Amino acid sequence: MLFGAHVSAAGGLWHAPANSAAIGGEVFQFFSRSPQGGPAPAITKDIAAKFKAAMIEHKQAACYIHTPYFINFGSATARIAKGSISVVRQELERGAQLGAEAIMTHLGSGRDLGRSEAIKMTTSGLIDVLKDYDGKTLLLLENAAGAGEIIGDDFSELGMILDGVLKKIPQAPIGVCLDTCHAFASGYDFRTAAGITAVLKKFDQQIGLSFLKLLHLNDSQTGLGEHKDRHADLGAGLIGKDGFTALVKNQKLKNINGILETPTDSQRPKDLAWLKSIH
């Protein structure tokens, strides 16, 4: 397991690897475009080359791209649903240009159409994203915290969506990014080694551990099953350091990298140093 955090790519994508190294990151996550929307700046051959050179210079083992916040495959507004498909496909292609390991995306909400129809639309939208895609960058679905009608808070729901995609595209480069805060908010208990064993067993039954490709390591400000997305620094929330120690030491996760999306920038170097010390 290698560790890193979400870092800034302000001033040029090629700055992200240096920003990761500066806080002790071995891997990192970033936005390749504004998370609020708008057209994406072009990735030229020169930019891609500078980015890849920076990855080597700053000894970064892998990088991951987070899609913009507005993604909603289940929207009743055609512009949003079709735009989500287009943007996620663009990010896959941009990730392939940069040599990113994966991109990850939230799926959206079933508020407009009802949960069942939104899941169908989400599955169909992901199939459209991956149609004829031949890049090496993976598409990861991130689990949600479960507030309202958010899609993908339950492992069985993610498993259903994955199954639907794989029926149409059997070799689809798709997997899951598991966020500990979101999962805890959805009722999955990470506070003890026994709890983590139970969570991973359920993940394996309903999705398959072979599809787990990345961890977002975030503590939670709110309690188990409260369905609120409130990230906390490691040990400052209700999962606690004992939980993250057990998670990092779990042998089933030894090849899965971990990314911090914790709220306090100044704390991240300390959290990364601590994670590396207990691994």
pLDDT digits (tens, 9 = 90+) for 225-240: 999 999 999 999 999 9
The pLDDT, as a whole number, for residue 146 is: 74
> How confident is the model at residue 183, as a pLDDT?
97
Structural domain of residue 7, as residue ranges? 3-278
pLDDT tens-digit map of 112-165? 888 889 999 999 999 999 999 999 999 999 999 877 788 999 999 999 999 999
Number of domains in the chain: 1
Cα angle 192, 194, 198; round to 5: 115
Question: Which sign does the torsion angle of CA 178, 183, 188, 189 carry?
Answer: positive
* CA distances to 28, 85, 273 from 58, in Å: 12, 33, 17
pTM: 0.96
Q: Tens digits of per-residue pLDDT, 191-234?
A: 999 999 999 999 999 999 999 999 999 999 999 999 999 999 99
CATH of the domain at 241: 3.20.20.150
Rounded Cα–Cα distance for residues 92 and 246 (Å) = 33
Answer whether 245's CB lies under 8 Å from 275's CB. no
Q: What is the average pLDDT score of the chain?
A: 96
Measured in degrees and rounded to the nearest 5, phi and psi for residue 278 equal: -100, -10
Q: Which residue has the tokens 């208990």?
A: 189
